[in-house]
Amino acid sequence: MFQFENFDAFISMGGHGPYVWGAYGLSLTIMTWLALAPLRRQRVLLATLRQRIHAQDQKGGGQ
């Protein structure tokens, strides 16, 4: 059962809103970043690797 009478009460949390939402907000932001950072690093890694292989191939072909 929803504990709050309306959406405004849910946001204000009886005066504790900033604390609760702040804690949840920052935590979830950090956690999202934790999950996305390795994915981005993997993409960058593979891209540089691809570039390096490409460069090597061209050099090999030129000779």
Partner 1 sequence: MWQWFHKLGSPRWFYQISGRVLPWLALASVVLIVSGAVWGLGFAPEDARQGNSFRIIYIHVPASFLALAGYYVMAVAGAVGMIWKMKLADMVMVAAAPLGAALTFIALFTGAVWGKPTWGTYWIWDARITSMLVLLFLYIGIIALSRSFSTRETSARACAILALVGTVNIPIIYKSVDWWYTLHQPATIKLTGAPSMHPDMFKPLLVMILGFYCFYALVLLLNTRTEILQRESRTTWVKQLAQSK
Choice between 27 and 58, CB closer to partner 1: 27
Closest CA to 55 of 44, 47, 42, 43: 47
DSSP state of 15: G
Q: How far is CA 10 from CA 20, 23, 31, 53, in A?
A: 11, 15, 23, 55
Least distance to partner 1, CB of residue 52, Å? 9
Least distance to partner 1, CB of residue 46, Å? 5
Choice between 46 and 58, CB closer to partner 1: 46
Choice between 35 and 62, CB closer to partner 1: 35
